[in-house]
Amino acid sequence: MMKSQAAITEYLVLVIMIVLIAFIAVVLLFGFELLNTGTEQAKSRERRALFTLESFAASTALNGPQYQKGSFFEDARLTAATCGDLENLFGSGWWAEVRVLKDKAYCDSLPVWRRSKCQQDMRREENIVCTKQNYPSCGIWRFCAREEKMIYTSVPVNVYRKINNTVDLGILTVGIPSGG
Amino acid sequence: MISVFEIFRVLIGLVVFVFVLTFFLRLSDMYSNTQVMGKKLETVNTFDQVAAQTFTSENPTTFSGFRDFTTLVYEPPKVKSDVGQKTLSVPVFFIPSKGVILLEKQCLDYNWFRFCWVYAYPNSTQILFTPLENTADARATIASIVQLLPDSMDYGYCSGDDARASTKSGFVQYLSGSATESYQPCTRQLPEGSRVVVINSTFNFSSGLRGDAFMELSSGKLYRKNSTGGMQPTGYRDALDVAAFIAGGEKSLEFKRSTLLRELAAATKIMKERTILVSQRLRERNKQDCMECSTLFPKACGWVDFSGNKYESLLYKNFLSSLGALESSMASGDYLQQLETTALYYESLKDEGCE
């Protein structure tokens, strides 16, 4: 009697083990699928960020007519544009920034006593957010609200300074909510 | 002699076997369905991605992922399929097909703004025209429409059972010549995705005319058979209206209007405010360049109402009222005149070096 009871218990344990293994296999399989879905979502967000960046850089509303190939923004157009305008062009759910990097080599061509002030002025201008009031003495354009968690992509661009008729180097950064 | 334990073991074994087998069969079925759904979802996403790439790169591409789909409908901006719907990231005029789809970008230049979109259509698509009165006006209209349709599509005439298609450039060249042929309603069976556009000054649909789109030149109306077989008219104002209608009927036309007007209004607002800003700063610096045209261009942009967030409303209202008249031909109307005036003042901005 005891022997057969032990055999039954042994058998039940075996059955439970088989069911457990099957369950673990299912959890692993679906866990793997979930992982894949997560990866796909991340890739999709990255693609969206890249697409918004490309659309921004190529937009005829922000580039001058002589630079239709894109990545050559005009500062006056950037200043005139609002988040609402650009959402009508590129859709919603993004944040963008164009930041000018002034060429400080120009200051080196000035007499020594003026160099330091020139460099200071350039640094100050680089950090001023452009509005219609302070244009063209500014160097940053920001559009739409920035969220805490975003995926960012950046690309170098040229910024044509309309009033001074010069070209500055700039960095265009676009952020897409990472959803996490 | 078989013991009770042996019988119990066999029974338990059978129950467990059947349970595990059923479980795994159901699981594999569920898993395979999930995989098929996932694959289809990925296909729709890839299509959106290819369309977006075509839009940004300007290079035509092909796509052949829809062969396993049972349902595929395009209701702009959404592609509806077995796996639900997906809103496309860029404006697409899509003729759905399970075969190879060609994607190509086209743009309409308003001088101060370029409106761009992507055509997606089966690679066998032909657009055939049947001008029942082959006049110079009808040929010019056809040429303006064809200019906005894809470069890699074939175009031609269809008359009775005779259909002749050639390349876009060949057909446009042919249209520029003087033609004397007369055309009969098309009866030819055409490849998948193809469209027959019948053009006439007026239509009498009681004669049972065949075609995918009917363009009435005298009234500026487009007709297409609806689901009940009746003819539903809709007005057109520019060649892109007709091109969108040919590609996807009323839904594509409505999508084109709303997208174009929204983007055009936003771009015009940016341009207007930019011009005012630049002229103010130049005046402050005592530079007299582009003073006059800097005032004229913003005035010319008056057709966009900039108040509040709905600044496209006036443009849209004007556009709809010009459609409501339905009297003028394609080349006239308030809407086009306003755009032309703005383009003219924009040109003077460029000439004066304000751009």
According to the model, what pLDDT value does residue B333 have?
52
Tell me: the pLDDT tens digits for B36-75? 888 898 899 999 999 999 998 888 999 999 998 999 999 9
According to the model, what pLDDT value does residue B118 have?
95
What is this structure's pTM? Answer: 0.82
Domain ranges of chain B: 35-94, 124-218, 249-351
Domain ranges of chain A: 36-177
Arithmetic mean of pLDDT, A32-41? 84
Listed residue (A163, A88, A143, A10) closest to B306, CA to CA? A88
B89, pLDDT greater than 70: yes
Q: Identify which of A60, A81, A88 has the shortest CB distance to residue B114.
A: A60
E strand residue ranges, B147-279: 154-159, 162-166, 195-200, 213-216, 221-225, 231-235
Q: Which amino acid is at B156?
A: G
According to the model, what pLDDT value does residue B224 have?
84
Q: Which residues of B touch A60 (CB under 8 A)?
A: 113-114, 267
Assign A39 a pLDDT band (cuts: 50, 70, 90): confident
Mean pLDDT of chain A: 87
Q: Which residues of A touch B42 (CB under 8 A)?
A: 40
B327, pLDDT greater than 80: no
ipTM higher than 0.85? no
**CA B257 distance to own-chain centroid:** 10
Tell me which of B77-81, B215-219, B289-293 is least confident.
Answer: B289-293
Mean pLDDT of chain B: 82
Task: Compute chain B's Rg from CA coordinates.
Answer: 28
Q: Residue B224 in contact with residue B212, Cβ under 8 Å?
A: yes
SS3 B147: helix
SS3 B17: helix
| Both tokens assigned to A52 | 């918004």
According to the model, what pLDDT value does residue A74 have?
92
Percentage of chain A exceeding pLDDT 90: 38
Assign B331 a pLDDT band (cuts: 50, 70, 90): very low
Beta-carbon contacts below 8 Å between A and B: 94
Tell me: the pLDDT tens digits for B184-206? 888 888 888 889 999 888 887 77
What whole-number distance in Å separates Cα of residue B47 and Cα of residue A143? Answer: 29
| Cross-chain residue pair B274–A11, CB shorter than 8 Å | no
Tell me: the pLDDT tens digits for B7-24? 887 888 888 889 888 988
> Nearest-CA residue of chain A relative to B114?
A60
CA distances, B191 to each of B102, B117, B124, B127 (Å):
15, 24, 6, 10
| Cross-chain residue pair A89–B355, CB shorter than 8 Å | no
SS3 B200: strand
Mutation target vs A (from B28, B49, B278; most A CBs, 10 A cutoff): B278
| Cross-chain residue pair A77–B271, CB shorter than 8 Å | yes
Assign B138 a pLDDT band (cuts: 50, 70, 90): confident
| Cross-chain residue pair B42–A40, CB shorter than 8 Å | yes
Q: Residue B248 in contact with residue B94, Cβ under 8 Å?
A: yes
CA B122 to chain A, closest CA, distance in angstroms equals 25
